[in-house]
């Protein structure tokens, strides 16, 4: 439903936190905001699930560093990762009347640790710790170790440098990562099965020489948004998890004067991945714009961004309403609502993505087993038909 950039950005050499992270169910969000003292930061939690959004500050006795990561859960608690020397302290924050409660979860003693996007299960958090030619995958909350708080536990060590992160199923079992090979430096997306001890399998292999990254995935429909240089330069494309059809690269998503990045997919389109609306951040010389596109359509609709938009963040409702968080001097916590008309998929639209995930998916017949990823290959690099 959402895509969240968790890594800290740089602004003129100064570290600045990511704009916002939204929980997997869309009910909560969290961000770091500046305090009264210059250069000081504190967490702020937004409630998005009610009729009107509102923000709750979560300050503690000491200000936070701008490179701290926040991850909101479905129950309203916010996980924070703080770096202290060569270790990372993990804790849960929650409002307690006028104050802020804190539950320490444990420490990961690694030089680098990056939180992954919120798990679809809504109660677990994962992180990557890159090392010398390998990357460790950690569960930093919601595991079996660490007592009732579910502290950090190392799950597996993967060869190569792993980045990115997208969930492929609704239970939080299959995780997709972009893995850079230590041998040739090429990047291929792989799927990690957490129920099988971190077993990996290929996910994207468009050509042997290409760099193939997964940008965004919708666990319900299986729609995948990818970026690949198989054509000699980076292109934005799409495919369906569990389908044997190749990745397609629509010309409409190729803008010569702007960078296009997907950040949210409309949920609820279980049998119709091609009808999912996709929200795109379009960054050009004139600033950022919002793009709306569907695989079944042939148009990219561009919209003006609301003032104070927390760029790259947002979510779709099942009804097709795009919600964009924003904050201005006058509005501390706001959500712009953009109604996007439904677009029916054409006759013969691909519906095979859900077929591979078991009968009765989304129909209340029990959670089906997640699909085993099928490598997407032999992608046509010309205009999508």
% helix / strand / coil in the chain, to the nearest 5? 5, 45, 50
Each residue of 180-213: pLDDT tens digit?
Answer: 998 899 999 999 999 998 999 999 989 999 999 9
β-bridge mates for residue 206, sequence order: none
DSSP H/E element including 353: helix 352-355
Instruction: Provide the 8-state DSSP code for 346.
Output: P
pLDDT at 339: 81
pLDDT interval class at 231 (50, 70, 90): confident
The proportion of the chain whose per-residue pLDDT surpasses 70, expressed as a percent, equals: 82
SS3 352: helix
> What predicted TM-score, i.e. pTM, was given to this entire model?
0.84
CA dihedral (232, 237, 243, 246) in degrees, to 10, reads -30
Token pair, residue 334, equals: 């706001």
Instruction: Provide the 8-state DSSP code for 355.
Output: H
- Is residue 197 a contact partner of residue 153, using CB atoms and an 8 Å limit? no
β-bridge mates for residue 46, sequence order: 29, 55
Which of 147-151, 243-247, 301-305 comes out lowest in average pLDDT?
Answer: 147-151
- Is residue 70 a contact partner of residue 91, using CB atoms and an 8 Å limit? no
pLDDT at 147: 44
From the list 192, 195, 196, the residue with the least C-alpha distance to 178 is: 192
- Is residue 290 a contact partner of residue 281, using CB atoms and an 8 Å limit? yes
pLDDT at 365: 34
Signed CA dihedral, 39, 78, 125, 188: sign only? negative
Residue 381 pLDDT exceeds 50? no
Each residue of 123-179: pLDDT tens digit?
Answer: 899 999 999 999 999 999 997 654 445 579 999 999 999 999 999 999 999 999 999
From the list 99, 113, 133, the residue with the least C-alpha distance to 71 is: 113
Write down the residue that tokens 């990745």 correspond to: 247
């Amino acid at each position: 439903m959402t895509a969240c950039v968790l890594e800290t950005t740089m602004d003129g050499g100064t570290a600045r936190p990511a704009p916002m992270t939204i929980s997997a169910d869309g009910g909560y969000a969290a961000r770091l905001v500046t305090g009264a003292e210059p250069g000081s930061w504190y967490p702020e939690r937004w409630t998005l699930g009610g009729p009107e959004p509102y923000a709750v500050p979560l300050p503690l006795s000491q200000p936070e560093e701008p490179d701290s990561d926040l991850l909101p859960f479905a129950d309203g608690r916010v996980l924070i990762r703080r770096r202290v020397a060569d270790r990372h302290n993990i804790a849960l924050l929650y409002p307690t009347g006028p104050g802020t409660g804190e539950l320490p979860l444990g420490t990961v003693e690694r030089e680098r640790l990056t939180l992954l996007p919120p798990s679809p299960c809504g109660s677990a958090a994962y992180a990557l710790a890159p090392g010398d030619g390998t990357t460790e995958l950690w569960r930093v909350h919601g595991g079996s170790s660490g007592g009732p708080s579910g502290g950090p536990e190392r799950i597996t060590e993967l060869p190569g440098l792993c980045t990115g992160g997208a969930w492929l199923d609704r239970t939080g079992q299959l995780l997709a990562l972009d893995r850079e090979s230590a041998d040739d430096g090429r990047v291929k997306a792989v799927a990690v099965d957490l129920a099988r001890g971190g077993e990996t399998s290929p996910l994207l292999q468009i050509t042997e020489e290409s760099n193939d990254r997964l940008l965004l995935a919708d666990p319900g429909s299986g729609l995948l948004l990818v970026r690949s240089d198989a054509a000699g330069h980076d292109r934005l494309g799409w495919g369906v998890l569990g389908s044997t059809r190749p990745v397609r690269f629509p010309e409409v998503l190729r803008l010569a004067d702007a960078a296009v990045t997907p950040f949210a997919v409309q949920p609820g389109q279980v049998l119709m991945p091609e009808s999912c609306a996709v929200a795109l951040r379009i960054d050009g010389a004139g600033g950022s714009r919002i793009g709306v596109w569907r695989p079944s359509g042939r148009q990219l609709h561009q919209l003006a961004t609301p003032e104070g938009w927390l760029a790259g963040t947002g979510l779709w409702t099942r009804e097709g309403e795009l919600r964009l968080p924003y904050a201005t001097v006058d509005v501390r916590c706001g959500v712009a609502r953009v109604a996007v008309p439904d677009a029916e998929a054409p006759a013969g639209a691909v519906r095979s993505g859900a077929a591979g995930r078991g009968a009765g998916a989304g129909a209340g017949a029990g959670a089906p087993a997640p699909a085993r990823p099928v490598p997407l290959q032999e992608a046509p690099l010309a205009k999508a038909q």
